[in-house]
Each structure stands twice: as C-alpha cells, then as structure tokens.
Amino acid sequence: MSSAEQPRDLAPGTQQLHGGETADLEVRPVRAPIHLSAAYTFESLPQAREVFAQRQPGFKYSRTGSPTVELLERRLAELEGGTGAIATASGQAAITLTLLALAGRSGQSPDGEPHPEVPAGHVVASQRIYGGTADLLNDSLAEAGITVTWVDPHQPDQWRRAATPRTRAFLVEAIGNPHADLPDIPALAEAAQEAGAALVVDSTLASPYLVRAGDLGADVVVHSLTKYLTGNGTTLGGIVVTTGRFQPSADPRRWPQLTQPRTRFGGRSLVEQSGEDGALRQLIRTQLLNDLGPAMSPLNAQRALEGIETLDIRMQRHCHVAEVIAARLAADERVGSVRHPSLPDSPDRQIAERDFPRGAGSVLSFELKGEVDAVERFFGALQLFALAVNLGDGRSMATHPAWTTHCRLSPEMMQAGGITLQTVRLALGREDPEDLWADLDRALSAAHG
C-alpha cells in the first residue's frame, strides 16, 4: 500500500490553519454573515485566468470586492435607484476615484492610455462645499493635473460659463456643507449635458431617504457612509453609485478611457467589456480601486448595512430636531442669519418643497452676533453638543468651519463660501430638541454675558 492512499495526519502547524474545515456544515443565518477573507479560492487555474482577464465574474481578492461589501453596494444602488455601486474606504476615496475616472489624464488622451504629456481634465465645482473636497481639488487632484473652477451652486449660468473643452465633471452637494444650500439639480444636469460633462452629486448630507439625485439628473451619486447612512459615528466608508444616465458612447472621443481599446483590458474597450453603463464602474473598480487601494473592509460594510436598516426613521428624527432648532435660532436676537431650507425666508425654500419633500437634513449654520471672543465663549459653554467635526451621528455636534473643516481655504474661497469667524455649524443629532435648545440657550447667553 502506498503512503499516498493513506489519509495522513497533519502536523500541528498545518492543523492550526486547516483543522476542522468542512464544506458541508449546514448553516442558514438570518443575517448575511461577514465574509472576512482577504482572498477567494478558484476552482481551477483556467477559472482564475478567466476571472483575472475579466471574462468571468468572481471574487479574487477583497481589495476589489467581497460578498459583504457587494451586498452593501447592491443595497445602496437599489436605495438610490441606481444601476450599480462601488464601496470605498471613506467618502473622500469615493470622490477621489470618481474624479480620477472622469477627469484624469487618460480621459484626455486620444486612446485612453496614460500619456504623461497630455494634460488632465477640468472640474467645475460648487464653492459651498465640504472643506475636505475643496482641499482634494485645490491640492491633491491639482497635483495630478486636474484643474478646478469654483462657482456658485445657485447660478447654473456660472457653471455653463466655467466649462471648457477639457471639462469632464460638474461636482455639487445635494445639501451643501456647511450652509445646507440646495442647488437646482435638474438645472445643473442640463448645464452639465450642454458642456458634455458628467454631473456628480455628493448626497452625503441628504442620504437616499431625502433625495435620489439620479432621479433629478445626476450621472453619479457619491456618499460618505460615515455620516447618516451608518448613522452612529463609528465607521468610515464611502460609495459611488452610477445612475444609468451616463452614456460614454454618445460622444466617444470625449471619453477615450471608456470607449477606446486599452492594453490593460485585453485590447478591448471598457464599454465593449462591461457595457455603456458598467464601463465607468469597471474603470473605478478594476483600475483605480485596485491600483490605489482605498478598499472598504467587510467589517465596516457590515456596520454600514446595520445602520442603513434604520435610515428612514433616523432621518425623520434628524429633520424634525433640525427644524425645531432652526426655528428657535431664527427667532433669537442673539443670533444673526440662520441658514436652513426649512425656514420660511430661506432662498432655497422652493427647491426644498419641490425636491426634498421629506425634509432638508439636519445640518444648519448661523452667524453668531459679536466678536470672536463671544464665539469662543459660546463653544466653551456647550455641554450636550460635542465640539467635533462629524455629522450624521445620533449625538449633536457643533463646529467652527473657519478654524476646522474649512481652515485650509484661501480667504477668497472662504468669502465666496460664506464662511466667517462668526459662522457656527450645527449637525443636529437625535436627542430631545428641548434639551438641545437648553444647551444652545445657555451657550448663547454665555457668548453675550
């Protein structure tokens, strides 16, 4: 009898890794399990070859996808009414990958291959935007050659005039950070179409419960999952959702990175490989996410999935709390202008009624009357509000944009963005509004005491 036919006892070092493994344990958990595996096995070498050549679907290594992350992607695509999604390690990564895919250097070269001498594309972006996005465009993407023009989200004509033959993306927030500005998304979608650019909407402050930007004309919707979608301030994450509107073959010379055969993709174009709608997602997943690496962990995907289960009731509560506090602040003499679309004199009231029937979110800003020392006394007196820069948590937070989230903006951009040393941003949580008001009332008295 040859030893090859005898089942061999495995040595302890191997048992540590393979002991107890079985393929036939019958488990049917109610909740989808967390697939915490960096890699996935192939049935055979030919199958591995086909998956790597992207001729067959399949998980290979969780930088580009895992079952837990895929469930999150499918759930968010469905909630947004989109056609597919790519999860990322953070909201910042979602915006970065989207803009590199649309406006990176390969999108300006005749064949979509990277040519170092070809200039990258151009982005037109709202000047009333999250400070991290402003930094990304002003510094890191600028260093990669992508140029930006900042414009007023309320003036679609400014967007039209800012567009150049190199423009590939318009970027706006569905609800602006920090002032809760509501842009006219359908009007910007029209302007983007005229310019031949894709409209990218960062819907972080809205969540898909308050608005589905794709229904209003967005080509791509991005979110920081860190905020309302996960909803408890524990976990960073991001998502890019395609809405099915973007059609690169309608103007193939404008999108060579998607429509021209590429060496990297086996001599085929991404449109040929993945279709009109899937091409952009393929570029983001199989090139940018794979090469740059900002992948979402399956553990974080599970946290986001748990959070999303209660999104609707949380958003209702957030909006209610924000509306109560906005109205109290607006009626208070110690406070200058208050910006929230729920207020009767908000310039965005009409857009709020048309596009945000469920509420306009729980971020608001106001101008504190007085000098900077009054602002310092205000923050010093807050007890329930955390002095912290997150939003979308159940806990309310107050921050000072000029010295924190927006501190790297130039004085010109700070002014264009309507941020002064007296600007306070509140991200209302889900506490009782009376307790929150008592805290603000005390802090406003301290500011003016």
Residues of the shown chain interacting with ligand PLP in the complex, contacts defined by CB under 6 A = 90-92, 130, 132-133, 173, 177, 202, 204-205, 224, 226-227, 236, 238
The single-letter code of the amino acid at 334 is R
Q: At closest approach, how far in Å is the CB of 175 from ligand PLP?
A: 8
Burial track 18-29 (b if 16+ CB lie within 10 A, e otherwise): eeeeeeeeeeee
**Cα–Cα distance between 237 and 274 in angstroms, integer?**
25
Q: At closest approach, how far in Å is the CB of 80 from ligand PLP?
A: 16
Task: For ligand PLP, give the closer residue by CB, 137 or 335.
Answer: 137
Task: For ligand PLP, give the closer residue by CB, 111 or 135.
Answer: 135
Task: For ligand PLP, give the closer residue by CB, 200 or 271.
Answer: 200
**Cα–Cα distance between 357 and 374 in angstroms, integer?**
36
Q: At closest approach, how far in Å is the CB of 334 from ligand PLP?
A: 28
Task: For ligand PLP, give the closer residue by CB, 258 or 391.
Answer: 391
**Cα–Cα distance between 161 and 211 in angstroms, integer?**
27
Q: At closest approach, how far in Å is the CB of 224 from ligand PLP?
A: 3
Return the residue nearest ligand PLP (CB atom): 91
Residues 6+ apart with CB under 8 A from 102: 121, 168, 169, 198, 200, 220, 280
Q: At closest approach, how far in Å is the CB of 30 from ligand PLP?
A: 29
Segment holding 311, helix H or strand E: helix 311-330
Between CA 265 and CA 272, with CA 267 as vertex, the angle to 5 degrees is: 75
Q: At closest approach, how far in Å is the CB of 40 from ligand PLP?
A: 27
**Cα–Cα distance between 320 and 362 in angstroms, integer?**
8
Task: For ligand PLP, give the closer residue by CB, 216 or 236.
Answer: 236
Strands 238-242 and 84-88: antiparallel
Task: For ligand PLP, give the closer residue by CB, 137 or 270.
Answer: 137
